[in-house]
Amino acid sequence: MTVAAGPPRGWFLGSLLLSVTGCLASIGSSRIIAGEDCSPYSQPWQAALFTGNEFFCGGVLVHPQWVLSAAHCFQNSYTVGLGLHSLDDDQEPGACMMETSLSIQHPDYNKPFYANDLMLIKLKESVSPSATIRNISIASQCPTAGDSCLVSGWGQLKNGRQPNVLQCVNISVVSEESCSALYDFIYHPSMFCAGGGHDQKDSCKGDSGGPVVCKGHLQGLVSFGQAQCGQPYIPGVYTNLCKFTDWIQKTIQAS
Ligand SMILES: *[C@@H]1O[C@H](CO)[C@@H](O)[C@H](O)[C@H]1NC(C)=O
Ligand SMILES: *[C@@H]1O[C@H](CO)[C@@H](O)[C@H](O)[C@H]1NC(C)=O
């Protein structure tokens, strides 16, 4: 079976009032489909991207001053939320709402179609690690079929609603052979497939750019999938970060 590629998984989810930028005082079922509320602050590298007052994509803190996201989440300006469980920063005493100074899409993004879907966003200031905020290392090893990985995000739930708090779901990596057979000419080594079990666990609109964590390392970013999320036996597609460790390191060092 071959499937058509659906839209990238970035999405505007209506407005949320953002108050101020900076860090606040510290404290001691989305596309994520068929997931559950994450244990609060269990994914301290999770970032939320806002433009204007709208949440639209996820991201991942990979360095105290840099967030990785999907290239298709590119905007002219962003506010990056860190240390959030709920997207409402007024309810999040350990959160930081950071301004950004630049964003750099991978030079080969969308060459070919949908490939190389990653970008780096630089925060105006570094964040200090805390109980709710911490950077994660990027996997240098590529994923293996059957690896169990955790995906998180504030994307659309199965009922089409946006969740109040961060959602988590475990999915398994799918073999390169199955992924390329399914996505056919769209498949590229800069991607891997995961999910697609009978349990319908999946990521969805609004999860784009968010983390896929396998064995304690950042393995992928939510990229795209079918227009209808959570279909049984159809995995989602994730940016294969093991192919980009050099580019990420060099870009951070040079900027
Ligand atoms: C966080 O980033 C710093 C700076 O690059 C790095 O030294 C540290 O190892 C990173 N922490 C993790 C857990 O990767
Ligand atoms: C994901 O799997 C890990 C390891 O088996 C487990 O501890 C965790 O509770 C699972 N999380 C979810 C959201 O299913």
Nearest CA to ligand 1 atom 14: 137
**Is 60 exceeded by the pLDDT of residue 144?**
yes
Q: Would you say 223 and 237 are in contact if contact means Cβ atoms under 8 Å apart? A: yes
Ligand closest to the CA atom of residue 39: 2
pLDDT value at residue 23 = 66
* Local confidence band at 50 (pLDDT 50, 70, 90 cut-offs): very high
Residue 224 has pLDDT above 80, yes or no: yes
The ligand with the least distance to the CA atom of 215 is 2
The answer to whether residue 193 scores a pLDDT higher than 50 is yes
CB-CB contact of 220 with 212 (8 Å)? yes
Would you say 168 and 42 are in contact if contact means Cβ atoms under 8 Å apart?
yes
117 is a catalytic site residue: yes
Distances (CA, A) of 86 to 142, 159, 162, 165, 167: 32, 19, 11, 4, 10
Mean pLDDT, residues 110-124: 95
Distance CA 188, CA 192 (A): 8
Which atom of ligand 1 lies closest to the CA of 64?
2
| Residue 34 predicted with pLDDT over 70 | no
CA of 201 to the centre of ligand 2 (A): 13
Mean per-residue pLDDT of the chain? 86
* Pairwise CA distance, residues 179 & 87, whole Å: 33
What pLDDT is recorded for position 26? 38
Can you spell out the DSSP letters for the chain? -------BS-----B------EEPPP-----SBS-EEPPTTS-TTEEEEEETTEEEEEEEEEETTEEEE-GGG--S--EEEES-SBS-GGG-TT-EEEEEEEEEE-TTTTSSTT-S--EEEEESSPPPP-SS----PBPSSPP-TT-EEEEEES---TTSPPPSB-EEEEEEBPPHHHHHHHHGGG--TTEEEE---TT--B--TT-TT-EEEETTEEEEEEEE--SSTT-TT--EEEEEGGG-HHHHHHHHHH-
Closest C-alpha to ligand 2, atom 2: 170
Q: What percent of the chain has pLDDT over 90?
A: 64
The per-residue pLDDT for 2 is: 52
- Give the per-residue pLDDT at 154: 92
Q: What's the gap between Cα 54 and its chain centre?
A: 16
Ramachandran assignment for 129, one of left (phi > 0), alpha (psi -120 to 50 degrees), beta (any other): beta
Tell me, what's the pLDDT at 93? 87
pLDDT at 123 over 60: yes
Task: Please list every protein residue whose CB sits less than 6 Å from any atom of ligand 1.
Answer: 63-64, 135-137
Percent of the chain with pLDDT over 70: 84
Torsions phi, psi of 81, nearest 5?
-95, 130
Q: Please name the residue whose Cα sits nearest to atom 3 of ligand 2.
A: 170
pLDDT of residue 1: 47
- Residue recorded with tokens 């179609």: 113
pLDDT score of 11: 45
Tell me the average pLDDT across 199-216: 85
- Ligand 2 proximity of 150 Cβ (cutoff 6 Å): yes
Active site annotation includes 37: no
- The residues that bridge with 171 in the sheet, in sequence order, are 149
Among 117, 147, 202, 207, the active-site one is 117
Best residue among 46, 150, 151 to mutate for probing ligand 2's pocket (most ligand atoms within 8 Å of CB) is: 150
CA 171 to ligand 2 centroid distance, Å: 10
Candidate from 66, 82, 135 with most ligand 1 atoms within 8 A of CB, to mutate: 135
Q: Is 208 a catalytic residue?
A: yes
Among the listed residues 72, 85, 106, 188, the single catalytic one is 72
Q: Which ligand places an atom closest to the C-alpha of 172? A: 2
